[in-house]
Amino acid sequence: MSVTEIVAVLLAGVGAGAINAVVGSGTLFTFPVLLSLGFPPVTATMSNAIGLVPGSVSGTWGYRKELAGQRRRVLRLVPASLLGAITGAWLLLHLPAETFEAVVPVLLALALVLVVTQTRIQRALARRRERRAEGGPQSGERGPVTFVATYLIGCYGGYFAAAQGILLVGALGSLIPEALQRLNALKNLLALVVNTVAASTYAIVAYDRVSWTAAGLIAAGSLVGGFVGAGVGRRLSPAILRGVIVVLGIVGIWRILGG
């Protein structure tokens, strides 16, 4: 890799770590960059998953105060994310590369739609919470449905991680009567579980298919970015962030479809 490419991957890692802590679509920073440098889609996904684990750790740590008091919820949902991540990683390792290349543009497009509509989703969730509050006592969490939704999103994250955080916030916000920032903290922890399981699987059984240079650069950048995102990420312009993510995502789709 040239110096310019090293800097590009490192900066993408910083951006991904920060965005994952606040929004949850950081893969749309790093994945297209790796594709633009010529990495095959599966190699890019595995290298990216490994590299983003440190950023997930720092982002989760930055939101540790919001996790306080959610122990029972964590103990109930972490196994769902764990099982989902194992399923998704298994699919990535065993399905043909052609399947991944066919599916990923669709997943990227879905992730971009979620990024663009994120504000509307959050507003809808806020209105729903207000209606619940006006309606009197909360009816409680939908345990089985929440478990299944978390498992399915874990499968998605283990197979292709882009925007799994947005999916988690949307699902959890619909099913759990809780403040958005506390749900965001829970999202960071569950995404950390998924990323760690997927990354560990790739490192153990597919280490020869991983670009360890790219993974290391993303890891260093995402570690810093996670702290930045947890600390000051809320001050950044959401419109600018969404715009950059959409552009990079379109580049990723074009790169895959264009070979």
Three-state SS at 38: coil
Q: What is the pLDDT of residue 137?
A: 42
Measured between alpha carbons, how far is 124 from 42 in angstroms, rounded to an integer? Answer: 35
215-230: pLDDT as tens digits: 999 999 999 988 887 7
- Name residue, tokens 């110096």: 3
In order, the DSSP letters of 74-125 are HHHHHHHHHHHHHHHHHHHHHS-HHHHHHHHHHHHHHHHHHHHTHHHHHHHH
By C-alpha distance, which of 153, 148, 161, 163 is closest to 110?
163
Q: What is the pLDDT of residue 132?
A: 63
Q: Where are the domains of the chain?
A: 3-257
* Residues of the chain below pLDDT 50: 136-139
Query: Which percentage of the chain shows pLDDT scores above 90?
Result: 23
Q: What is the pLDDT of residue 233?
A: 55
Q: What is the pLDDT of residue 101?
A: 72
- Name residue, tokens 């991957």: 9
* Residue 216 near residue 51, CB atoms below 8 Å: yes
Q: What is the pLDDT of residue 139?
A: 47
Contacts of the segment 69-77: beta carbons below 8 A, 24+ positions apart: 70/182, 70/185, 70/186, 73/141, 73/176, 73/186, 74/186, 74/189, 76/143, 76/146, 76/147, 77/146, 77/147, 77/150, 77/186, 77/190
CB atoms within 10 A of CB 255: 21
Q: What is the pLDDT of residue 50?
A: 92
Measured between alpha carbons, how far is 45 from 192 in angstroms, rounded to an integer? Answer: 16
Q: What is the pLDDT of residue 107?
A: 73
